[in-house]
Copies of this chain bind each other. A is one copy, B any other.
Amino acid sequence: MKIPAKTVFYTIERTIKTYRKFSKKHFLKVVDDITVDQKLVLQYLNDHPELSQNEIAELVFKDNASLTRMIDLMVRKGFLKRSINPDDRRRFNIELTPKGKEILEKLAPVIITNRKKAFAGISQEELMQLDTTLNKIISNLNND
């Protein structure tokens, strides 16, 4: 008999890795040279252009140093454009180039299909329950 307490984190890890691999595969069918995390960064910047690098880093669970390098790369690849923010010269305005926007447009339907696939045969209630349990775990771990 399985003892879930011993294996749940293993299963969680496996889920996220499987999903990342799956996403990557389907992303690459419509756009080449994009990673799952780069897509996330593009999406956040598109929806909230005022975000600082630090804020994006927090949203995608990375640190500032990683974000600096990711954004450098995305600028080099022509997805993003950095310009100085005259209101606060420590930070940058970062905006999507047309190429960056095009990538998001191409990926939008893929995201929807991916989610459908991932959650096939799982009810809304079951997803809610999943979300609830995971949030309990997060809050347990943070109260320490």
Task: Show the binding face of A for B, using Cβ within 8 Å.
Answer: 2, 4-9, 11-19, 22, 61, 115, 117-122, 124, 126-131, 133-138, 140-142, 144
CB proximity of A48 to chain B, nearest CB, Å: 15
Do B144 and A22 touch (CB < 8 A)?
yes
CB proximity of A112 to chain B, nearest CB, Å: 10
Give complex CA distance A42, B56 in Å.
35
Do A61 and B17 touch (CB < 8 A)?
yes
Closest 7 CB pairs of A and B: A4-B127, A22-B141, A15-B134, A4-B131, A130-B133, A11-B134, A17-B61
Enumerate chain B residues within 8 angstroms of A121, measured Cβ to Cβ: 136, 140
Dominant secondary structure of chain A at its interface with chain B: helix
Contact sample, A vs B, 19 pairs, CB 8 Å cutoff:
A4-B131, A5-B127, A7-B131, A8-B119, A9-B19, A11-B135, A15-B134, A16-B16, A17-B61, A18-B138, A18-B141, A19-B141, A22-B144, A117-B144, A121-B140, A122-B133, A122-B137, A126-B129, A129-B129
